[in-house]
Amino acid sequence: MPGDLSLVRERFPALRDDGDRLFADAPGGTQVPETVIDAMARYLVDSNANEHGAFATSRETDAVIREAHLAAADFLGCAPDEVVFGQNATTHLFALSRAIARDLKPEDELVVTVLDHDANIAPWAAIAEDTGATLRCVNIRSEEDCGLDLASLDQAINPRTKVVAFTLASNAVGAITTALAVVRRAHEAGAVVVADAVHVAQHRSLDIDTLDTDVLVTSAYKTFGPHIGIMYGKRDLLQRLRPYKVRPASDDLPWAWETGTMNHEGMAGYIASIEYLASVGREFGSPHDGSRRAGVVAAMEAIREYESGLSERFLEGLVRVPRARLWGPPTAEDRTPTFAVTGTRRRPREIAEQMAGRGISVWNGNYYALSLMDRLGLETSGGAVRIGFCHYNTPAEVDLVLEALDDFA
């Protein structure tokens, strides 16, 4: 296993305890470094104001907003004016879909996937219903690996396709999609590509130039930051679409898409979370230069390597838990360290409650991956137990989770 990234635990106040708490709930949201907490508190104490005022705290707020867009640009590898802040990824997708719906016709078609969080399905289903457009759904290859079926995608896409919405990685089973293949097929059909990066952003570096998606959404609370959402959109697309907004709002980017007063303290915390990631890259990785972007990319590569070791440890150990079944990719390749597990004797909620009694935090249910749970036949029986690790988890914690699964599954 590469360098021990769990050494960063000392930077997280929630992880400085007596060992009674084990967070294996990272897919639902991560803990945050102390620097993020400090940045949010410092903003509220020293700079709390609305924007565009003549006075000092308002000017300081303007600076925080500008810096937050620069930080997001460094995280995603895009231009600052292509970054839109909002409440969360779900809210972004509903706003985006509504703007796209203005130009949809009944003969148009939209494509979603079984693998997605409902945040990237429900908005497109809603506008299909409103406009009379057709909604098509791409299947997975099999229940064993839950990989996206590209043959099914080829059957779904045609010249009438206007939007292809898909996830870069499943928040339920950890399967990573073949994004470049999806984007290429969608663009060949002339469709707008909308990618959900909420889950993968915690585990892999994002590079807009490489991905070439037209839109990408993520949420900072999944990447060691506060509860705030980020949407990337290609400049020409954001300029062409007409978002719903109040009349005095600017038509300039990205302000035309940022409705109402922003979460300024969240933006301050977000800046600190990106600085945290850059510092991880400088300490544990090999950035190609001294820029923040290079630090973030190096961090995510170090995180990927470290988490691969955690995944291998969990998967090897799970084989020795006879009453537990894994849903999703059986190897550490092409997956995140997020695992959906069911037991033979207890329902997922009961297993999660038993593990919580031992101080282990895991999720149960469908985690809004409703279509996937229906496809796997798990929804009626309570979904699955979702166990998720990130770079502040340790190999010893993986072993404790496996021990608990063996006892409770």
Q: Which of 199, 177, 182, 183 is nearest to 119 (CA)?
A: 199
Say what the pLDDT of residue 98 is: 98
Say what the pLDDT of residue 18 is: 58
pTM: 0.96
Q: Which two tokens stand for residue 385?
A: 């137990």
Contact between 26 and 202 under an 8 Å Cβ cutoff? The reply is yes
Say what the pLDDT of residue 2 is: 55
Euclidean distance between the first and the last CA atom of the chain, given in angstroms as a whole number: 28
Say what the pLDDT of residue 164 is: 98
H helices of 132-188, in order, are 150-156, 179-188
Say what the pLDDT of residue 328 is: 96
Say what the pLDDT of residue 20 is: 82
Place of tokens 């409902």: 118
Say what the pLDDT of residue 397 is: 97
Say what the pLDDT of residue 346 is: 92
Residues (pLDDT < 70) of the chain are 1-2, 18-19
What's the CA gap between 398 and 320, in Å, rounded?
A: 14
Contact between 300 and 276 under an 8 Å Cβ cutoff? The reply is no
What's the CA gap between 12 and 20, in Å, rounded?
A: 15
Report the length, in residues, of the chain: 409
Q: Domains of the chain by range and CATH?
A: 5-31+305-408 (3.90.1150.10), 39-273 (3.40.640.10)
Helices 56-76 and 264-284 meet at what angle, rounded to 10? 40
